[in-house]
Amino acid sequence: MLEHFSYIITVFLMMAGLFIVIARGNLIKKMIGLSVFQTSVYLLYIAPGKLLGGTAPILAKQFTTYSNPLPHVLILTAIVVGVATLALGLALAVRIREAYGTIEEDEILTLNHTVEAAEAQHAEARGGS
């Protein structure tokens, strides 16, 4: 159980992020959930690379055991990509807010349905006359 504690924490964070993304209708809240999910992935990569008694992978004469450097490199890239996607998602949210006046998923869907119904009525009225 204790040997797999880091994985359990990772899975908990991952599921918390997933829950926020699915359950919350607010688009900015969804982006926060997505970021939490991303950080859990960082943990998933970094934790197996750690060696107890090892140090950070910077070579020096007095150390012999180092943690694995490869996951660190991969996650460095992932963090920057993550913030790029976050910025793009937020720009989309701002744009949606300007088009619809709201960033709540339910209200956007209701607005869409109202517009569709109005258009259908309009088409019907034109076809009838």
Site residues for another protein, 90-109, by CB under 8 A, read: 90-95, 97-98, 102-104, 106-107
Residue closer to another protein by CB (options 12, 119) is 12
* Spatial distance between the Cα atoms of 71 and 50, rounded to a whole number of angstroms: 10
Angle, helices 70-100/105-128, rounded to nearest 10 degrees: 40
Q: Does residue number 41 form part of the binding site for another protein (CB under 8 A)?
A: no
> What would you report as the CA-atom Rg of the chain, rounded to the nearest whole angstrom?
24
69 forms part of the interface with another protein (CB under 8 A):
yes
Closest to another protein by CB, 7 vs 117, is: 7
Query: What is the rounded distance in angstroms from the CA atom of residue 99 to the CA atom of residue 94?
Result: 9
Q: Should residue 120 be labelled a site residue for another protein when binding is judged by CB under 8 A?
A: no
